[in-house]
Amino acid sequence: MGFIKMEASASKLIVRNLRKSFRTQRSEESVQVFEGISFEVFPSEFISLVGPSGCGKTTFLRILDGLIPHDDGEILLDGKTVIKPGPDKGFVFQESSLLPWRTVLDNVILGLELQGIRGSESRKKAEWYIALVGLAGFEHHYPHELSGGMQQRVNLARALIVDPQVLLMDEPFASLDAQTREIMQAELLKMWNQTKKTVIFVTHQIEEAIFLSDRVVVFSARPARIREIVKVGIPRPRSLSVKRSKEFLDLADHVWDIIQEEVLKSMGREREEGVL
């Protein structure tokens, strides 16, 4: 056990041999979602997960949070096994997941409130994080009074306020329009610079993954395995113009090739299954 502890001090998050299968409702046979997933994440590292759609990225992220159980393997966060959700992990959800009956302030406070922390201290903290995501002055607005981009900022503040060890983000910008998304990407990098959180970011947008990350983990089609972990050597701080550099475009092409191959593979398999 001592070895694991030492190892853990070097890596923030260790995923070893993770396997997950679902039992379908129609038949008794189980469908393998992914198997043999292993990788390590260093402290303050920004990791993206990409892969063909339906490959189980979101499921994987929910397992990392402890929201759904896995079948095999282990997840270590700071050397401790992850079994259930908690304030050591911050989760940023895909679509609008703000509680509509709470104001921005009360939505951000939620994470602290669930731990039983109340009072002016947590209020001040919430106001600080609301300012960090650039929403100062909107504390008493309701989610329906905010635009999609603003709602995702609140979503982010809500995850950050619990001061998590790792930030898990599930396609947070998927529902935003292209312009807002670009702005949010740049903002996210700025906040990441300020808070130095370890981030696991799930997206289906390859450009987004490369722009944000230190490393991009590319999943294969179902049953998903890790096809490749692509290191992004582009120096930081990155501005949006980086997206037009040759280095960036080469990386994007490379990731695209892998994913395209996987998509074709899964389409071929589906066709075979269809014939049967």
3-state secondary structure (DSSP) of residue 30? strand
Indicate whether 73 belongs to the interface with another protein (CB under 8 A): no
Indicate whether 10 belongs to the interface with another protein (CB under 8 A): no
CA distance 120 to 37: 43
Applying CB under 8 A, which part among 37-45, 140-148, 200-208, 229-237 lies near another protein?
140-148
Are the beta carbons of 195 and 160 closer than 8 angstroms? yes
Nearer to another protein, 92 or 255 (CB): 92
Indicate whether 148 belongs to the interface with another protein (CB under 8 A): no
Indicate whether 240 belongs to the interface with another protein (CB under 8 A): no
Task: Give me the amino acid identity at 79.
Answer: G
3-state secondary structure (DSSP) of residue 250? helix
Indicate whether 195 belongs to the interface with another protein (CB under 8 A): no
Indicate whether 128 belongs to the interface with another protein (CB under 8 A): no
Identify the residue among 52, 143, 149, 172 touching another protein (CB under 8 A). 143
Angle, helix 178-195 to helix 148-160, in steps of 10 degrees: 20
Taking the CB of residue 184, how many other CB atoms lie within 10 A of it? 20
Residue 179: phi, psi to the nearest 5? -65, -50
Indicate whether 101 belongs to the interface with another protein (CB under 8 A): yes
Total residues interacting with another protein, rule: CB under 8 A: 22
Q: Which of 217, 203, 172 is nearest to 18 (CA)?
A: 217
Task: Give me the amino acid identity at 270.
Answer: E
Nearer to another protein, 14 or 162 (CB): 162
Indicate whether 173 belongs to the interface with another protein (CB under 8 A): no
Indicate whether 172 belongs to the interface with another protein (CB under 8 A): no
Indicate whether 65 belongs to the interface with another protein (CB under 8 A): yes
CB of 255 to another protein, least distance (A): 28
CB of 11 to another protein, least distance (A): 23
Instruction: Say whether the peptide bond before residue 87 is cis (omega within 30 degrees of 0).
Output: no
Q: Which of 83, 78, 99 is nearest to 158 (CA)?
A: 99
Binding residues for another protein, per CB under 8 A? 65, 67, 84-87, 89, 91, 93, 95, 97, 99-101, 110-111, 114-115, 142-144, 162
